[in-house]
Amino acid sequence: MESAIDLIKFDKTDDGLIPAVVQDVNTSAILMVGFMNKAALEKTLSTGLVTFWTRSRQKLWTKGETSGNVLKFKKLRINCNEDSVVVLAEPVGATCHTGHPSCYYRELDDAQADWLTISTPEFDPATVYPK
């Protein structure tokens, strides 16, 4: 059976991955960007937990499987070229492994000389991720 997500062009790159931007459905903050193949997207839709393909570990990875800080799937949006997605999600706890609410917690200063930290960690990574 043809499904709506068949519209997405996973075959534009050799590795079958598309960028997936996770946006907080309540605050509109951009929490993280990961990559998805079709299996990752299907798992996201069927489980309700945002799941990526990790390029470094070469496997499916449900965000929060170690920390418990999952991303609850809410909505999926597709771009004009059908080669990337925005995932609207509700985060449980801080998204970033550093403890920051978003992975984008550093901003270039106006002199373009240094990165400023723009948020405060909500947990100590050492207590959340066992060595």
Q: Which of 47, 90, 118, 120 binds its own copies (CB under 8 A)?
A: 118
The rounded distance, in Å, linking the Cα atoms of 86 and 20 is 6
Across-strand partners of 18?
A: 36
User: Shortest approach of its own copies to residue 123 CB, angstroms?
Assistant: 14
Residue 51 and residue 22 in contact, taking contact as beta carbons nearer than 8 Å:
no
E strands, 1-131, are 18-24, 30-36, 51-54, 59-62, 71-78, 85-91, 106-108, 115-117
51 binding its own copies? (CB under 8 A)? no
45 binding its own copies? (CB under 8 A)? yes
User: Shortest approach of its own copies to residue 81 CB, angstroms?
Assistant: 7
Residues in Cβ contact with 52 at an 8 Å cutoff, skipping those fewer than 6 apart: 20, 34, 35, 36, 40, 60, 61, 63
Considering only residues 13 to 32 of the shown chain, the ones binding its own copies according to CB under 8 A are 19, 21, 23, 28-30, 32
Q: Which is nearer to its own copies, 90 or 107 (CB)?
A: 107
Q: Which of 97, 121, 122, 123 binds its own copies (CB under 8 A)?
A: 97
Please say whether the dihedral angle defined by the alpha carbons of residues 56, 16, 50 and 96, taken in this order, is positive or negative.
positive
Q: Which is nearer to its own copies, 39 or 118 (CB)?
A: 118
Residues forming contacts to its own copies in the complex (CB under 8 A) are 3-5, 7, 19, 21, 23, 28-30, 32-33, 45, 75-81, 84-86, 96-98, 100, 103-109, 112-115, 118
